[in-house]
Each structure stands twice: as structure tokens, then as C-alpha cells.
Structure 1
Amino acid sequence: MNDTTQTQSNLRSEARIARGALHRLRQDLFVDAFAFRPMPPMEDAKVPRLVPKRLRHWARWLPHFAVGFFSVCVFLLTFTDSYISGPLRGVLVGGFSLLVAIPPVLTLFRPVGAFWLSLGAFLLSMCAHAFAPVYGTTPIVSSAYPTHLVVMALVVLRTRPRLAVEMWLVTFGVAGVLSVLIDRGSGELPSVAFFSGVLLVAAAAVRAWREERRQVVETRTVTAEERGRRTLLEERALIARELHDVVAHHMSVIAIQAEAAPYRVENTPPELATSFATIRENAVAALTELRRILGVVRSADPDAFAESDPEAPQPTLATLDSLLDSVRSAGLNVEAVVTGAPRPLPQGVELSAYRIVQEGLSNALRHSPGAEARVEISYVLGGLGLRIVNGPPSRLAKPSPGAGHGVLGMRERVQMLGGEITADHTEDGGFEVAAFIPVGSAAGEAATGGSKA
């Protein structure tokens, strides 16, 4: 019973292998056999350096010229040899010579179709030699077979190595059957089949070597790009660490001096003490956020610090009130208006919206001192709308060194999320930033689900 089961399993496996081989044969030689697949010219790097620069453009087409020259030689040779036998027979064999000479050129555009056309010419030459020989003594030495062998080699070089086996089986399988039908015997067919197999295996080896070499070049290119990208990330991390060291030092000094300043003055006014406390709180908050950003830059996972560092979470619109209070304490009279039903949004949208509002208010403080500002947040069906507008300054703004990239940063954030943004001066001399960030329903549901969890 076990032997029978094993035998049936082996038969099924062999049948499966046979079906797979037939399927591949059908896909390679029958499906879209005459599809247009032009051979591109050689790459400039493959053109020999000895070729003058003026001829390099034409040298790229050297393989096409070589195949075309071969086809012309085949046609002239067969037509000239056959025309000696008489005008009528020469014309007939001239047509056959054209049928033999076309497939090599056709391999440049329709390689598989060229194989079938060349195979037809080869089989036709076998029939012609069997019933009405016109030149040569056997079908094997006729011009059709050597040309067919060249066509098969060209097809292998242009397509894939496994076509060498498939074309060899089809060619000599059909040729063997035809030899039996026309009662010509096998003759030289086995020896020629062996020679053809060796030549096609060599062509397949060349094709496989070229394909492997191309993959190696692609792998090296990708590796070089990855190495360059990794180097760039390492340089950015280094710059971030250096920036942290510089900024953290000065912000620490500001925080310490702001904390110690009220104790250096007797009877410090409450307003002054509140201002120093606000300065210290902003400095400490900046240090905390700077450390968090540096941690994200140095981490391979951008979300690595979202849960492991709860003391420094990503700012969202829910924490916008603290930002507004900080700006008000700095002297900017700001009003916030929220329309629509607030809902949880994806983390990237929340963070970008917060940064846009933060940058818009910072610009108002920097460039429009004494002005009033208004922040409008609109929760709409398709996304989130933002509008930060401020009036004209009431006094001259001091120069702000290092500024000028705020609007660009806002544009990059919005464009990264597929939104739109406008930033321009208003008619009364103020400034307005209006942005819309789209939020898909799937993203909104995911964010809602994540918040409920």
C-alpha cells in the first residue's frame, strides 16, 4: 500500500513538472510571439574608446548594422547560387532566399517571431530537398539551417537562457518528425542536433553571464546609494548633536539667569517676576523639545520616543492653549476660534498643524510687534483648515538674524501631507497664513480608533 501511494505521488509530481514545463514553453514561444520588442542601441559606456567622438553616436548601433549586413550576405549568397540554374527557378529560389534572410533582421524587433519564421524556412528547405532538390545534397547543408542556428543564438542573447532548450527541442523535434514523414531518415540530424545544442548552450551561458553582470552592477549602484544616504543621515545626526550642544548651552544660561534675576533685585515688581518666570518656562520647554527632536534624529524609529518618553510628547492641537498663553505672556494679543467638531487626527496632521500655528504666531511676534493676531481652526469633513492672521505692527520691528525659513518650512509640511497653503501680506499691512491639510476617512478612523484604544 505504501509503495502504491509513493508511486502515485511520484506520478503526480512528474505530471506537475511536465505541466509546468509546457506552460513555460507556451508562455515563451506562443503567447505574444510576434510582440514588438526592439533592441535598444548600446550604452555609451560600452562603446570602444578607440572610436572617435564623431562616430560614437553611430557606433552605438553597431550590433544592428552587423545583423543587417549578415542578412544581406545570406540573401545575396543564396540568390546568386540559385539563379545560375535558370531564370524561373532562380526567381522562385530568390523568394525562398528572402524568406531565409529576413529572420536575422527580425530578431532586432520581434525575436520570438523571427524564430518561427526561420523555423518555417528551415522546414521548407527540408521539403524542397526531399521532393525537388535545387541546391546542395542534403537539407542539413542548405543555407536555411545555418541561418536558423544563427537566429536561435540571437534570440537567446536577446531574451532569456531557457529559450535555448525550448527552441532546440521544438526545432529538432519537428525536424525529426518531418524527416520520418518524407521518408528521408535521420541522416546527419543527430550530429547536427548535438552541435546546435553546444552552440545554444554557449549562447545561453553568455546571456546568463551578461544578466548576472547587470544585476551585479545594479546591486553595486543600490549599495552605493544606500551608503551615500547613510552617510548623509550620519552627517545630519552629527549636525543635530552639535546644534543641540550650542542651543542647549545658551538656553540653559537663559533659564538660569531668568530664574535668578528676581532674587538680584529688591522688591521685584510682580509683572517683572512673572515675565522672568515665563522666560524660564519657555527656555525649559525649548530644551525639552530640543532633546526630544535630537532623540528622534538619532533613532532609527521616528516613533521610538512617543511612548518611552511620556514627559516630552509630540505637541498636538490639544495643547494649543499652552502655546497661546505663552505667546500672550510675550506681549501678543491673540484670539483663537475653533469651528466644527474637534476630533482626533493623525499624528502627522496634528504635529504639522501645531507647528504651522506656532510658526505663524512666532512670525507675528518677530515682524509685527504690538499687533493683534487671530488663529482660526476649522474641522471640516475633508480635512483641517488653518488660518493665522495678524494686523500691522504698531512699532518698528527689530532685525531678526537667522530668520527667513519659517514660511518655507510651513510649505514643506503642508505639501508633504498633500495639502495647500498660502502666505502673503494683507491689504492693511498685516500677514496671513492659510492652509488646508486633507485627512482621509481611513486616516481619521484609524486616528479615532487609536485614541479610543
Structure 2
Amino acid sequence: MTTWNTFLRALAEPVPGHRPPLYNARRPWVRALPFLVVLAMVGALLPLGVVTLTQFYGVNGSLAAILATIQAGALALGLVRPLTGWQLMAPTTLIGAIATHGAAADLPWPWPIPSLLCYLFLMVFLAIRERGRTLLAVWAVTFIGNSLSWSVFKEHFDGTSVVVTVLSGVILLLGWSLRGRGEARRLLAAQEQISETERARRTLLEERARIARELHDVVAHHMSVIAVQADSAPYRIEGLPEPAVAEFGQIATAARGSLAEMRRLLGVLRAADTEADKAPQPGLADLPGLLATVAQAGVRAELDLADGIQDLGPVPEAVGLSAYRIVQEALANVVRHAPGATARVRVAAADGALTVDVHNDPAPGKATAVETSTSTGHGLTGMRERVRLLDGTLDTGPTAGGGYRVAAVLPIDRTATAVDTAPGEKKTA
């Protein structure tokens, strides 16, 4: 009993490469449809086969029941094991041909109608599941068997063998072609998904490298200040003890060494870049010029600098650079996706953070997109990376009026910690 239950579970449980048709359908009734169709076919062909063999061909009732059961069962088995089902049906077809030999001349031989239908339906399952070489072998066996029956028993041979040979070949060829086309589509879709993932990963790495190049100037400036102050400390401060003078000398030496290493790192990052990357990095003071450039592309942009910005004084260079790039990318997206729209840029300072808000109206009429060289990054990916670097927040999305809004909060008092500590690492003392 245990062996029988294991056998039944093995039949019901699909193995890789032999899953039933529509196995991956989302709706349960669609997945169950092939089983229902086969159940109806088996329910019709099994009794039809027994009656046909016993009443028309004069086959013994027990043998007729065995042959019809095996052939109908092979059709049901074809849902998950089509080749195994064919291996069961082929011998029974030969046995049935021998058992029905000598029947009335007007009856089809060696393919009684129930056997013919079971065999052709099984060809459908074979065609959509098995490899091309297997299908060719199955058809070759079918052709050879029908040819031998015609050669040995010419007086009993009729057109059913030709019908089975031709139709089985057509079914196998058509099913193999359609299955190959479906597999090609699935492979193409999988490759496109892999390519899209690789493109997204490459975009993220390129944006991080670009941000690192820009922040190099910021960090290098601070390191230069440290080196200069350490070198000049013994001359600016009188009465320093020798240990302090030596300590300042070590600090200056370490700072100059760090600058040299940063120059080597920058050389690697800029290996494929143009000289334009070596220009001074922009900040909040360059926003009016940016808006003027965007206006040439047909986007009217308004800049609103809150009163707190003037009282705030110079912001950290990393914050100013990130704010400029976020505005730049947001306006570039307006040019690309909503040409001719009006955009409003507001920069404010509150609670130790710099807030940048870019809001645009929907494009007027049926304006077409305009390509521009204003964008130097990768849109939202670059914005997220810059905000994450500064431990800030970013909120993007469409507005109720059909426009789009980009809002970033860049902490000012935590900028040094965020820049000095790599993402995902803990800063150590």
C-alpha cells in the first residue's frame, strides 16, 4: 500500500521540465483545466475502446478492458510524463493490432478509432513537453510501425495508418515549433531582466563614482587647510614646546600624504573623464545661472531663497553641491518630461537642515519632450545617492494637479559625520 501511494504521489507531483500545461497560470481554474479536459477524454475513450474492441473486433472482454485502460491511462499520464505514456501506449497498439487482425474488412486496421484518438492526443502532450530529438524518434517509430503493417498485411491495410503517420508528424512539428518559440521568448525576457538589473547596477555605480569625484574637491580643500595650519602653527603661536612643534609637523606630514593619496584616487576616478570634471564644483550661489540655462530649453523656472538662507551663511560644501545637483536633475526631468511647464525652486533652512523643493506644473498642451545636456547624473538614482550620503530624506512623486514634486532635506549639522562615514559602516573613534 505504501508503494502504491508513493507511485500515485510521483505521478501527481510534476518534476522539473515535465510540469503539466498551464502549470504557472495564476488562476486555479486555469491550472485545473488540462486535468478536466483529460478526465473527460479518458471518461469517453475508455468505455468506447472497450465496446469497440469487443463488439466490432471480437476481442476478448478482459483483453479489451486491459488495452483500453492502458491506452486511456497513458493519455492521462501524458499530462506529466508524456514520454512514459507513449512507451506504455506503443506496445498496447501493437498488441491491439495483432488482436484485431482478421476483423471485418470495412473496419479500420491497425488503428481502431479509440486507439487512434488516444495516440494523436498523446502526440500533443509530447510535442509541448519533449525535445526535438525525442519527437523525431517517436515519429520514426510510428512511421516504421505503420510501414511494416502495410508491408506484412497489405490485405488488411487501410488509410488510417497514413492518417496517423501524417497527423502525428504535423502535430509534433507544430508543437515543437511553438514550444521553441515560447522558450525563445522566455529566454529573451529573462535576458532583458538581467540586462535591466545590470544597467541599474551600473547606473548606481557610475553615480556613486561621480559623487565621489565631486566630493574629492570638498575633502581636499579641508585637508589642505589642515596641512597649512599645521605647518604655520609654530610660526603663528609663540612659545610652543618642542613636543607640540613635532606633533604639528606630524599632522602636516600626514595631511600632505593624505592629499597625495587622494590625488591618485582622483586620477583613477577621472581616467575616462574630460577636463570639464576638474572645474570648481557648484553650490547654492550658482542656482540662478542654472535656472537661466534651463530657461533656454523652454522651462520657466522661479527661484525662491528663504530669508533663513541669508542668515545661515556659508553651508558645508557637500550640502551646497548636493542641493545644486538635486535642483539640476529635477529641472532636467522637467525639460525632458514636461517641456514648457513652469517650475518653482524653493531653498530654505530650518531645524539644522537645508530643504530643497522643486515643483513643476504639467506640460501645456501637447508639447513634445526636449533633450538637453543639462542633466549630468542619472535622475532619481543620483538624487537618492546624494541624500543618502548626507543622511537626509528625499520625497518624490506626482502632484494632484498633474505635475511633479521633488523635496529633499539635507542635514547641515550632521554633514561631517555623514561624509566621513561610509554608507553601511559604523564610524569608529
Aligning the two structures, in what range does the TM-score lie when normalised by the shorter sequence?
A: 0.5 to 0.7
- 1:151 equivalenced with 2:106 (yes/no): no
Distance in 2 (CA, whole Å) between partners of 1:283 and 1:77 is: 94
Deviation at 1:182, TM superposition (A): 4.1
Structure 2 equivalent of residue 63 of structure 1: 34
Which residues of structure 2 form unaligned runs of 5+?
Answer: 1-13, 273-415
Q: How does 1:387-402 map to 2 (within 5 A)?
A: 401=417
Distance in 2 (CA, whole Å) between partners of 1:239 and 1:41 is: 51
Distance in 1 (CA, whole Å) between partners of 2:39 and 2:31 is: 14
The match for 1:218 among 190, 194, 204 is: 190
Distance in 2 (CA, whole Å) between partners of 1:259 and 1:177 is: 103
The match for 1:39 among 13, 19, 32 is: 19
Structure 2 equivalent of residue 73 of structure 1: 44
Q: How does 1:38-117 map to 2 (within 5 A)?
A: 38-39=18-19, 42=22, 46-47=25-26, 56-82=27-53, 89-117=60-88
Structure 2 equivalent of residue 208 of structure 1: 180
Structure 2 equivalent of residue 316 of structure 1: none
Structure 2 equivalent of residue 197 of structure 1: 169
Q: What are the superposed Cα offsets for residues 57-88 of structure 1, whole Å, 9 maximum, x if unpaired? A: 34333333333333333213323545667999
Deviation at 1:129, TM superposition (A): 2.6
Is the 2:142–2:165 contact (alpha carbons within 8 Å) kept by the matching residues of 1?
Answer: no
1:145 match: secondary structure: helix
Q: Note the aligned Cα RMSD (angstroms).
A: 3.9
Structure 2 equivalent of residue 353 of structure 1: none
The match for 2:134 among 163, 170, 181 is: 163
Which residues of structure 1 form unaligned runs of 5+?
Answer: 1-34, 48-55, 301-399, 411-422, 424-430, 432-453
Structure 2 equivalent of residue 142 of structure 1: 113
Higher-RCO chain (CA-CA 8 Å, sequence separation at least 6): 2
Query: TM-score when scaled to structure 2?
Result: 0.54
Distance in 2 (CA, whole Å) between partners of 1:217 and 1:266 is: 74
Distance in 2 (CA, whole Å) between partners of 1:208 and 1:153 is: 14
Deviation at 1:128, TM superposition (A): 2.5
Instruction: Specify the code of the residue in structure 2 equivalent to 1:116.
Output: Q
2:100 match: secondary structure: helix
2:101 match: secondary structure: helix
Deviation at 1:122, TM superposition (A): 2.3
Structure 2 equivalent of residue 280 of structure 1: 252
Q: What are the superposed Cα offsets for residues 158-209 of structure 1, whole Å, 9 maximum, x if unpaired? A: 1223433221111111232244334546532345423332222111111111
The match for 2:209 among 225, 237, 241 is: 237
Percent of aligned pairs with the same amino acid: 32
Distance in 2 (CA, whole Å) between partners of 1:182 and 1:83 is: 22
Distance in 1 (CA, whole Å) between partners of 2:114 and 2:63 is: 15
Count residues with an aligned counterpart: 271
Query: TM-score when scaled to structure 1?
Result: 0.51
1:200 match: secondary structure: helix
Q: Structure 1 residues 241, 42: closer, same or farther in 2, change over 3 A? A: farther
Q: Structure 1 residues 243, 153: closer, same or farther in 2, change over 3 A? A: same
Q: Structure 1 residues 199, 403: closer, same or farther in 2, change over 3 A? A: closer
Distance in 2 (CA, whole Å) between partners of 1:276 and 1:89 is: 110
Deviation at 1:225, TM superposition (A): 1.2
1:139 match: secondary structure: coil
Distance in 1 (CA, whole Å) between partners of 2:20 and 2:113 is: 32
Distance in 2 (CA, whole Å) between partners of 1:203 and 1:144 is: 21
Q: Structure 1 residues 79, 297: closer, same or farther in 2, change over 3 A? A: farther
Q: What are the superposed Cα offsets for residues 194-231 of structure 1, whole Å, 9 maximum, x if unpaired? A: 33322221111111111111111111111111111111
